[in-house]
Structure 1
Amino acid sequence: MSARIAHQLDVYACSPQSPVARGDEVEGRTVIGFTFDHDPPAGEPGDRLLLDGDQDLPRPPARPVPSVLDPSSVDITRCGPTPADGLDEDALTVPPPGLRAGYERVVDGMGDHGGLLRGVLDELAKREHSTWLVGGAVRDLLADGAEAQVHDLDFTGTAGPGELNEVAFWRRRRRDGFGDYDWRVSPQLVWSISPQEFPQRRVMEYRPLALDGFAFPAYGGSLATDAGTRDLTVNALYYDPRRGVVADPTGLGHTHLRAVPLVMAIAYRDDAPVACACVILRCLKFGLRWPDADIDGATKWIGGLPADLTARIPAEGWPRILTTWASCVQPRHRDTGQKDLARRLGPVAAALVAAILERTA
């Protein structure tokens, strides 16, 4: 078992040079989060500052995030919580050696792309941002150690998409074997970078720590808040490669991963119909992958959803659901496999699968 980190809040304590964070004060007003403008004026990175009073805005304000590189430009008072705020005392632990070794092996195996990824993380660290590997990669490295088969590297952290675009000075360089790269930001604020010649081959994906309560996607939340936007507890485990720390914000990820059989329980804590439908589809994905898993937790969560969930999905939400379904359910399972599992997960899951099959017929 991993050793607990002492004084866990101090691990992520800020300094006067740290980026502005939620809970700080800027010019006497409290920072309540951040968001991103997908069409900023020329020369602006796009990250936007949310201050107390912005909770009911219908769209992001045109207020840039102040830079701490020029302290004279804005009055910043450091009084916000750390990303680890609110976690139980044993939520941060020292990972087993195999996790670090496996992570380094995966990055090294990416060749030039691995160097690019390290460049991103190093630049964010210089700016005192915190970054975590999250999701399936952490799950598999914890379960299988240094030889784990890891396919995707997904990250989260305190930096916004605009700042990642800003530090991407290397995306047009060819020296040291690097080619040209393109970046994009999804509507859900997922920043990704891909080689121009292979746009579907993403070197990395990064979604800043999620924050709810706004009419638009926002970021700047804590690890605990972000974990509530993930699908399964075993996929809500976070690894900080710079500090060598694993975070288990739900308090259940380690336990459910070590259980025999593995436990499929839900980490997601919102009630948005489209997102709930996508979590159900993720349950299908992992239920088909792990046929012996304990699905009682997933079944209980799905059973607590509105019986008419499918009818509550707006027309504009179906493209996201169908895309998620196509990536979660392989063709060989699209006949009996997914139907059988959906029935085991409950009537809501069965109705969702039926609606999807009708739309894709």
Structure 2
Amino acid sequence: MTGLAGHGGVVAAYARCADAPVARGDQVDGRTVTGFTFDPAPVSGAPGDRLLVAGDHTLTRPPDRTVPSAADSSVRIIRSGPSPVDSLEGDTVTAAPPRLRAGYERVVVAMGDGGRFVTALLDALAARHHTTWLVGGAVRDLLHDGSEARVNDLDFTGTAGPGELTELADDRRLRRHGLGDVVCRVSPQLVWSVRPEESPVSRLIEYRPLALEEFAFPAYGGDLATDAATRDLTVNALYYDHRRDTTADPTGLGRAHLAATPRVMAVGYEGDDPVAQARVVFRCLKFRLRWPEAEIGGAVEWIGALPADFADRIPADGWPRVNAAREMCVPVRDRGARESALAGELGPAAASLVKAIQERTG
């Protein structure tokens, strides 16, 4: 960040180069790129990242169209698309405070071989001109608690797809740090995770590419503003780019809500997927338990706007994901009466959701 002054200088640091990876808004052989997806079981070819172009919004499954390499001279690429930060304004992208970089590096070093693997993976992505951000709880806690922060998970987002990440993780040159073989997984929601083969529970990182919710299937390739609108709370929609040592607050509220006394619990999610909405409700319950002193007016307002039949709109195949959210967010000791009471404080939709899941799980 040395020599970069003001929002304009920070944003300029994200300017796309001549051999940047293909992005949304580019032209590939005369067709406009509208996004990307991942196909785990293609009709032909190997599983991997797929290119979406104008006209693909009518598709019900990923097309059989691979993403061209930036170095592929047989494909004509016109890089007319913006960078992921171009739509952000004001002071939403700024130089990071020193404690954030120091805290992040302390966490990575403490991971030992796993941390060296994560660093090598991020370096390999940067060498391909991808941008990667740490996002979510780690950024929130490092910004708020500094050296005292207890970071349990490293969650990332960025411009690379899960197929390319698996390709890099499988490269033995990346694993020269003594970690050994790794196991990669891509969830149906395109969350890519990696763990050491010999340690099934030791997840190194999770990575969900910048979200894009315009297709009938999970897609990626959006910008930071689009991605932030798929996150739960404003304080969890804060992004840190270690390579450029910058932070981004796309909602314009996350930093202020985190620094407030008491801190503010407000929802940033803007989608209408009932499963995702239910997961957000349980995230609100989690932080209501963790931060009993927090100002919850923003969360109450968002939950109050949910439809009265909210729980009834959750499809049968969505309840396992909702139940998983409850398992992660509400400790066993707090389920039952305490869970119901806190849900009642958040609003009728939260109360009805908790009642429905209690009835389902007995």
Task: State if a TM-score over 0.5 links the two structures.
Answer: yes
- 1:288-340 deviation per Cα after TM superposition (whole angstroms, max 9, x unaligned): 00000001100000000101010011000000000111011001111232111
Q: Whole-Å Cα distance in 1 between the matches of residues 172 and 298 of structure 2?
A: 43
- The one-letter code matched in structure 2 to 1:16 is A
Q: Structure 2: which amino acid aligns with 1:197?
A: E
* AA at the equivalent of 1:29: R
**Unaligned segments of structure 2, at least 5 residues:** none
| Aligned equivalent of 1:27 | 29
Q: Distance in 2 between matches of 1:164 and 1:292?
A: 40
Contact 1:34 1:48 in 2 (8 A): yes
Deviations 1:101-132 (A, max 9, x none): 00000000000100110111000000000000
Matched, 1:54 2:56: yes
Distance apart, 1:14 and its partner CA:
0.7
Distance 1:173 1:95 in 2: 28
Map 1:1-361 to 2 at 5 A: 4-40=6-42, 44=46, 46-70=48-72, 72-170=73-171, 176-361=177-362
Structure 1, unpaired ranges of 5+: none
For residues 51-83 of structure 1, give each alpha carbon's deviation from its aligned partner in whole angstroms, at most 9, with x where no partner exists. Answer: 00111101100000011122x210001110110
**Post-superposition offset of 1:191:** 0.3
TM norm structure 2:
0.96
Shift, 1:16, TM fit: 1.4
Report the TM-score when normalising by structure 1. Answer: 0.96
Residues 122 and 344 from structure 1, CA distance in 2 versus in 1: closer, same or farther, beyond 3 angstroms?
Answer: same
Quick one: distance in 1 between partners of 2:31 and 2:11? 24
**In structure 1, the residue corresponding to 2:34 is in which secondary structure?**
strand
Q: Is the 8 A contact 1:237 1:247 kept in 2?
A: yes
| Amino acid aligned to 2:211 | A
Aligned mates of 1:42, 1:171 — CA distance in 2: 27
Q: 1:173 to 1:268 in 2, by over 3 A?
A: closer
Percent identity over the alignment is 63
Query: Tell me, what secondary structure is at the counterpart of 2:36?
Result: strand
Quick one: distance in 2 between partners of 1:228 and 1:171?
36
1:174–1:180: 8 Å Cα contact kept in structure 2?
Answer: yes
- State how far apart, in whole Å, the 2-side matches of 1:223 and 1:175 are: 33
The Cα RMSD (Å) is 1.6
TM-superposed CA distance for 1:4, in Å, is: 4.5
2: CA distance between counterparts of 1:212 and 1:84?
A: 18
Instruction: Confirm or deny: 8 A CA contact 2:21 2:69 kept in the other structure.
Output: yes
Q: Is the 8 A contact 1:233 1:252 kept in 2?
A: yes
Task: Say if 1:45 and 1:163, in contact at 8 Å, map to a contact too.
Answer: no
Aligned residues: 358
> Cα 1:94–1:145, aligned 2, differ >3 Å: closer, same or farther?
same
- Bigger Cα displacement from structure 2, 109-118 vs 191-200: 191-200
Instruction: Report the AA paired with residue 287 of structure 2.
Output: F
